[in-house]
Amino acid sequence: MMAGSSMFDLTLAQARAALRARKISAADLTNAYLGAIEALNPELNAYITVTPELARAQAAAADAALARGEHAPLTGIPLAIKDLFCTEGVRTTAGSRILSNFVPPYESTVSGNLLRDGAVFLGKANLDEFAMGSSNMTSAYGAVTNPWSQPGGNARLVPGGSSGGSAAAVAARLALGATATDTGGSIRQPASFCGLAGIKPTYGRCSRWGVVAFASSLDQAGPIARNAEDCAILLGSMAGHDPKDSTSADVAVPDFAAACARGVRGLRIGVPREYRMDGMPPEIEALWQRGLGWLRAEGAEIVDVSLPHTKYGLATYYIVAPAEASSNLARYDGVRFGLREAGADLTELYEATRASGFGAEVKRRILIGTYVLSAGYYDAYYLRAQKVRALILQDFTRAFHDVDALVTPTTPSAAFAQGEKMDDPIKMYLNDVFTVPANMAGVPGMSIPAGLDDAGLPLGLQVLGRPFDEQTVFAVAATLERAAGFTALPSMRAGVRA
Amino acid sequence: MALDPATIHRIAKLARIRIEDWQAAQLEQELNGILGWIEQLNEVDVEGVEPLTGGAQMAMKMRDDVVTDGNIRDLVLANAPEREGVFYAVPKVVE
């Protein structure tokens, strides 16, 4: 039997091997993680809901299966599920007050796929309200604290968003991996801020069925985990065609984990010159150059490319995403599920329910979306944005004629302090400048931890690939990971302070 | 195109979100900031460009038009904030 702290040192792949070899039991592993959650979640607020009884029952079932010599890809692996995935019989809030009492009678396809493959669910991870945010500050269930902090500094840092609870949980070792979703960077930015790996797969790779909708043409589920291989294992289970989502792709799920070992020899890696932004910290530029050097040393050819419409990605996003959100969130009306506030008539009931149920950022986006779709403004805003979106896709399509993948920084800065950038929505939106274009184009993107900044905080590099070529993305990301040898850990984590 | 308080109230009405006058003043500033920033898209030459409506570069699949689910009335109603028997209850709509 393993001592408590070393159990937390196992990656998902290592824990899986130890479970299969019966060196550890799923019950011990799950209990260790539940204990860590009990000790650290009050400080981090990474989970909105913890489900210990359910987790222990699933762990017991996993141990029974392992005792029979049976194992599925994730048998006995304890995970955090972003509270945007509907989980049957377990409250699902989307980080919003309007869903504070919503208990789904069904399981999302992605979380169902993980259960099919034997996973143990520890609980529901905190997030920005309806996944709208880049700091996890907009959750109705309180901010999440990044387990990383500046050595010697007192400031509590944000974990990024919207999948901030997922990232904080994995970084602090309150889960072996987590589900997340990415509409404009919500997997990659928190992964980068927390020193983790995270992949937004190609649009259509994972089913959106049962995931609370934000912007349906951009939303895509993916994993956040400690390294590329763990992400590959999780994505292998999460992905797959689902007849219940008409945008789910009917394509085979390849062996992502095997792709991590491929290397980059002979690959052409593009460096989009438009990602070299004014005012970007020199250490991020230096990290980027270092990453390109590692790939060159491993036999890749580094090629300068142009994505001329990059600078318009964010403005396009802030038309398309709010427009789709205003439509998707129309369903929260206080009648069929969720919060209801009383009103003298039906209209007052709607208006009072939505005024009290939605937070400030969600209201801002619904109002922007309503405006850009309203009569007389549709062509000027929404139609124009869809045309610019087509040009952004065309940029990527042309670049991928010439190169196999693109490598860029994930974010223009490391994690910032809680409360920073809150006075100006646009400043907050600029966090996603490097991640949004991949959502606009539907291409896969992964963040991999590549180093620390001068203040001792993690920074990520982003790998973008062709649609449905996550294997190349994993090959490049895993090569960067091996070269970077990123072993730094946050000061607040299970096994240290638990 | 700047939004004035009357327009803010009109949009909020369309979105069925009650807002107070003090909120309208704050929203006017925030939304005009965002819309002003979005104006940069006017620089882009979109002449002859077909709008991109979806995230997937693939044709939608057809499926058989058959019932695949149902008979779960109680599950559907389980989260209703207010019920009258097997119906959702709302304030009276028709006099």
Catalytic residues of A: 82, 162, 186
Query: Dihedral of CA A361/A367/A370/A374: which sign?
Result: negative
Q: Judge whether B19 is closer than 8 Å to chain A, CB to CB.
A: yes
pTM: 0.97
User: Is residue A163 one of the residues assigned to a domain?
Assistant: yes
CA neighbor of A451 nearest in space, from A478, A483, A475: A483
Q: What is the residue-averaged pLDDT of chain B?
A: 92
Contacts of A387 in chain B (CB under 8 A): 44, 46, 49-52
pLDDT of res. A75: 98
Supply the pLDDT for residue A427: 80
Confidence band of A323 (pLDDT split at 50, 70, 90)? very high
**Using 50, 70 and 90 to split pLDDT, how confident is the model at B1?**
low
Evaluate if residue A28 carries a pLDDT over 60. Answer: yes
Q: Number of A to B CB contacts under 8 A, please give it.
A: 163
Residue B21 in contact with partner chain A when CB distance is under 8 A: no
Contacts of B31 (CB under 8 A, 6+ apart): A364, A367, A368, A371, B3, B8
Question: Is residue A372 included in any domain, yes or no?
Answer: no
Q: In A217-366, which ranges are E strands?
A: 220-225, 268-272, 301-305
Do residues A469 and A444 make contact, with C-beta atoms less than 8 angstroms apart? yes
Q: Are A36 and A8 in contact (CB under 8 A)?
A: yes
Residue A206's domain is classified under what CATH number?
3.90.1300.10
Q: pLDDT band for A1, please (50, 70, 90 cuts).
A: very low
Within a domain: A211? yes
Q: Exposure pattern of A289-318 as b/e (b: 16+ CB <10 Å)?
A: eebbebbeebebebeebebebbbbbbbbbb
Tell me which residue in A247, A350, A389 faces B56 most closely, judged by beta carbons. Answer: A247
**Architecture field, domain B5-42:** Orthogonal Bundle (1.10)
Phi, psi of B52 (to 5 degrees): -95, 115
**pLDDT on residue A198:** 98
- Model confidence band, residue A412 (pLDDT cutoffs 50, 70, 90): very high
Quote the ipTM score. 0.96
**Structure confidence at residue A189 (pLDDT):** 98
- Mean pLDDT for A113-138 is 97
Chain B, 27 to 86: residues with Cβ < 8 Å from chain A are 27, 30-31, 33-35, 37-38, 40-42, 44, 46, 49-58, 60-61, 63, 72, 75-76, 78-82
User: Would the CB atoms of B15 and A354 count as touching at under 8 Å?
Assistant: yes
| Cβ distance of A367 and B17 shorter than 8 Å | yes
CA distances to A34, A243, B49, B85 from B60, rounded to whole Å, are 43, 11, 22, 40
* pLDDT above 90 as % of chain A: 93
**DSSP E strand boundaries for A36-77:** 47-50
pLDDT 10s digits, A51-65:
999 999 999 999 999
Quick one: average pLDDT of A324-351? Answer: 97
Distance from CA of A201 to the nearest CA of B (A): 12
pLDDT of residue A498: 40
Range of the domain at A157: 4-260+477-484
Provide the pLDDT for residue A431: 85
* A445 compared with A495, residue with greater pLDDT: A445
Give me the residues paired with residue A200 across strands: A445
Q: Does A39 score more than 50 pLDDT?
A: yes
Q: Residue A238: which of A123, A117, A107 has the closest Cα?
A: A117
Rounded Cα gap, residues A102 and A140, in angstroms: 14
Which residue has 């979306």 as its token pair?
Answer: A369
Residue, of A153 and A318, whose pLDDT is higher = A318
pLDDT recorded at residue A407? 98
User: Which residues, including other chains, have CB under 8 Å from residue A191's CB and lie 6 or more apart?
Assistant: A160, A167, A197, A198, A224, A410, A447, A449, A460
Residue A51: inside a domain: yes
> Which residue of B40, B42, B79 is in closest CB contact with A102?
B79
Q: Is A395 helix (H, G, I), strand (E, B) or coil?
A: helix
What pLDDT score does A15 carry? Answer: 98
Contacts A321 to B, Cβ<8 Å: none
Contact B79 A101 (CB under 8 A): yes
Q: Has residue B39 got a pLDDT over 70?
A: yes
- pLDDT of the residue at A421: 84
A268-272/A301-305 β-pairing:
parallel
* Helix locations, A332-448, DSSP H: 346-357, 360-373, 384-402, 425-429, 436-441
Neighboring chain B residues of A94 at a CB cutoff of 8 Å: none
pLDDT digits over A145-194, tens only? 999 999 888 899 999 999 999 999 999 999 999 999 999 999 999 999 99
Q: Which residues of B touch A393 (CB under 8 A)?
A: 52, 57
> Which of A247, A358, A390 has its CB closest to that of B50?
A390
